[in-house]
Amino acid sequence: MDNSLLLLKKIVQEAATAASPAKQMDYIVSAVRAAMQVSVCSLFIADAQGVLTLAATDGLDPTAVGQVRLAEGEGLVGSIARSSHPLNLEDAAQHPGYRYFPETREEEYQAFLGVPLVHLRRHIGVLVVQERQRRKFTDDEEAFLVTIAAQLAPSLSLGQSHFSGETPEQDSATTQRIIGIKGASGIGIGTIHLLIENDLKQVVDQESVDTELEIDRFRAALSECRDELKQETYSLKGDLPGDVVAIFSFYEMLLDSKELSQGVEHNIRQGNWAPGALRSTILQYSTLFENMEDSYLRSRAEDMWNIGNKLYSKLRGHKTVTSQDQNLILTGDLISISDIARYKREQLVGILCQSGSSLSHTAVLANALGLPAVMGTGKIKNLIAGVPAILDGHQGQVILNPLPAVVEEFQQLANNERLLFEGLEELKELPAVTPDGHRIRLFANTGLMADVSPGLKRGAEGIGLYRSEIPFMEHENFPTEEEQKQIYRHVLSAYAGKPVTLRTLDIGGDKVLPYYHFNEENPSLGWRGIRFSLDNRPIFMTQIRAMLRAAEGLNNLRILLPMVSRVDELDTFNLLLEDAREQLKAEGYQVQRPPVGIMVEVPAAVNLLRFFASRINFVSIGSNDLTQYLLALDRNNARVSHLFDNLHPAVVQEIFRIVQQCCSIGLPVSLCGEMAADPLAVILLLGMRIETLSMNAYSLPKIKWLIRTLPVKVAEQTLQKALSMEHENQIRKLTRQVLNNHSLGKLVC
């Protein structure tokens, strides 16, 4: 076929921008028919039961759309779906699996080529082309159709749930279930409240007529944003702890950044108008964050665009208008903390972001306010204001136009959850001890100053992981020793008398600092973590000194080293630590040597634990990265993220091996990450007799309830059964049954 690559690219791009699933499917069949110059192109879409329905056709009788249905294995189309293999026939009617549908009027077509549509191992449907004359389609034609099916399958999978099998159009009153990312747990029942979009990303470059006027416009917008932000900060002070309100200081820092103002003004002086110059500057800095592997740091790109949209709104002269209605689900592409601050807490029942991540400041603020949040749903087509909806933060889903029975069911779940947490409030000051006497310490993970209070409020016994990268990302240059010391001191003081684990700088690879840029072909396996720090000794020494000074008089500091895979890395660090301590003592500081630990997240570290033992004081299992490296997949890659599972048998067995090794050589061991907050996984960790779990603050009461209810002997028996299982689904079924047997089923929504 001539220009097949260009045709392929055009069809895929146009299909992705279609206004609705029905229009997308209609476009695909007409475009493929024209590209291949055939008589017919038809698209069959599979429902949840595998039944294939004719969703669109160009060439057959259009009244057959929605009427022709085949089970998997039925007819030629069903056979293709079952075998996941193309079928290329000279004369379709002569094939033993052929089935004729009178309503299609396809008896005049003989040549048949059908290919399966599969995405992430899930059958999406079948794409078919037909020709009147008897012939076999060429290898090039078959290759083209196979290729375009592979390219279109992901896009069609998003619209799969929108196709009812009866009509190609989606009624605005039809119940829709949209899957996103869990941002903040909880259930909200209300109506969609759409924010007015100020999408800076859509701004185009335009030549500036008056450079100085454009600069003045930008400076005025900057000043107006600063004033508005101060008002928004003040409006939330009564609802939140001071350090949660401090999230707004990050926005203030961005607005005061010389890089932002000088970058925009430079672009204006280069001839661009103010909105275009702003877009270009925001894009430059957000891209630095977006290219980072660490999901926490990558989410800071959202803050850049939020600030950009806020400034763009002022450039356009838009006045902020808010609703006085109640039970609102605040909805938009990117919702900023400023957007939330404009509403009274009692007006809101949830936050729905079509973009964004679970680690965004928006999600952190939603958690602190007790608002459920769902992020990253992608563009929800035909979404209108006032639509009744259920926001399920536990499952990361939103249900539009729910049936009355569904509303009633979720209302009961919300009531049960409220009663559950009211009942768990009394556990705050109680230890996490099993009925048969096994004690586990429960720590909180934190990466923001704003995360400190929620952990204390929910009974955290310490901080198991504090990400120290954030001050480095939020500065215009490497932060000074004094700046770092003040930040660390705040966290250590808040948890005075409780252990606080500060992880040293985990930068490098594709976690690029705006002021220290470098490129690598394989950043996940490159210059990062402890390797970066040791190779940049002045920076590392400054951080070590800041940590030691911050702990003076408090003595609750523990230092955690990331990505350790070699003995000499520990030897070098211990020399640096001792050197820093001697320096500070000579300067008059009363500093002590803190306990030092490593994160076990690199498989190599597991086999070196017996050599590490004499050089460290504790071990923290980083379950997220360890799982990622063990399974050789990126959990942020949509193509393979569904395979990421902490209960994969290999992960369970490896963590058990780590715990056993640490026990045999006398190393205290903890675990942090998503696994620590998963009740099903905690049963197994309890069975391993792990000593400490570190998790998000929200999960602390639930996990404490589980530990105080489930005997460790039951957990040990469950672990032994799980270790003999070959699939994570078997392990989930087993552990879920254990929860149900002990009246803990409410923990898994």
Spatial strand order of the sheet with 52-58 comes to 69-70, 52-58, 40-46, 122-131, 111-119, 87-89
Rounded to the nearest 5°, which phi and psi values hold at 535?
-80, -10
* Residue recorded with tokens 């079952």: 82
Which of 41, 361, 438, 662 is the catalytic position? 361
Of the two residues 451 and 446, the one the predictor is more confident about is 446
Q: What is the CATH number of domain 432-747?
A: 3.20.20.60
Q: What would the pLDDT profile of 5-14 be if each residue is shown by its tens digit?
A: 778 878 887 8
Residue 44, beta-bridge partner list: 54, 126
- 19-33, 255-269, 362-376, 606-620: least confident range: 362-376
pLDDT over 70, % of the chain? 86
Q: What pLDDT is attached to residue 523?
A: 55
Q: Indicate which residue of 672, 727, 742, 749 is catalytic.
A: 672
pLDDT score, position 213: 93
Decide which of 98 and 470 is more confident. Answer: 98
CB atoms within 10 A of CB 614: 9
* pLDDT at site 509: 46
Considering only residues 639 and 215, tell me which one the structure prediction assigns the higher pLDDT: 215
Residue 123 falls in the annotated catalytic set: no
What's the pTM? Answer: 0.65
What pLDDT, on a 0 to 100 scale, did the predictor assign at position 33? 95
For residues 309 and 315, what is the distance between their CA atoms, to the nearest angstrom?
Answer: 10
**pLDDT tens sequence across 394-422:** 888 999 999 898 899 899 888 877 777 77
The position carrying tokens 């020494």 is 541
Q: What's the pLDDT tens digit per position in 494-525? A: 999 999 999 998 865 444 555 555 565 555 56
Nearest CA to 723 out of 684, 689, 682, 681 is that of 684
Q: Is the pLDDT of residue 160 over 80?
A: no
Residue-wise pLDDT tens digits, 525-542: 666 788 888 988 888 999
Q: What is the pLDDT of residue 679?
A: 94
Among 188-197, 334-343, 425-434, the range scoring the smallest mean pLDDT is 334-343
How many degrees, rounded to 5, is the angle at CA 394 between CA 500 and CA 706?
60
With contact defined as beta carbons under 8 Å apart, do 688 and 438 qualify?
Answer: no
Please report, for the chain, the start and end positions of each structural domain, with discontinuous segments joined by +: 4-160, 176-413, 432-747
Of the pLDDT bands very low, low, confident and very high (cuts 50, 70, 90), residue 250 is: low
When pLDDT is averaged across residues 635-654 and rounded to a whole number, the result is 81
| Residue 233 reports pLDDT greater than 60 | yes
Lowest mean pLDDT among 32-46, 258-272, 582-596: 258-272
pLDDT, position 449: 60
pLDDT band per the 50, 70, 90 thresholds, residue 164: very low
Higher per-residue confidence, 692 vs 313: 692
DSSP 670: E
**Higher pLDDT residue, 542 or 199?**
542
Would you state the pLDDT for residue 211?
92
Bridge-based pairing of strands 397-400 and 328-332 is unpaired
Confidence band, pLDDT 50/70/90 cuts, at residue 119: confident
Section 202-218 average pLDDT: 89
* Mean pLDDT score, 184-195: 89
- Report whether pLDDT(168) > 60: no
Higher pLDDT, 39 or 385: 39
Whether the predicted pLDDT of 166 surpasses 50: no
- CA dist 203 → 200, 276, 284, 679 (Å): 5, 6, 15, 46
Q: Are 590 and 551 in contact (CB under 8 A)?
A: no
Predicted pLDDT at 665? 95
Average pLDDT along the chain: 85
Domain 4-160 classified CATH 3.30.450.40? yes
631 burial level (CB within 10 Å; 0-12, 13-18, 19+): middle
Q: How confident is the model over 539-595, as pLDDT tens digits?
A: 899 999 999 999 999 999 999 999 999 999 999 999 999 999 999 999 999 999 999
Q: Which residue has the higher pLDDT, 669 or 152?
A: 669
Predicted confidence at residue 316, as pLDDT, reads 84
In angstroms, the CA 509 to CA 210 distance is 42
Phi, psi of 576 (to 5 degrees): -65, -40
* pLDDT for residue 93 is more than 60: yes
Interval 441-469 mean pLDDT: 82
Higher pLDDT among residues 448 and 495, named by residue = 495
- Mean pLDDT of the region 348-376: 82
Which of 302-306, 521-525, 692-696, 727-731 is the least confident region?
521-525
**699 or 32, which is more confident:** 32
The mean per-residue pLDDT over the stretch 29-50 comes to: 92
More confident residue, 477 or 737: 737
Q: For residue 417, what pLDDT is reported?
A: 76
More confident residue, 470 or 192: 192
The CATH superfamily of 176-413 is PtsI, HPr-binding domain (1.10.274.10)
Catalytic site includes residue 742: no
Give residue 1's pLDDT.
Answer: 57
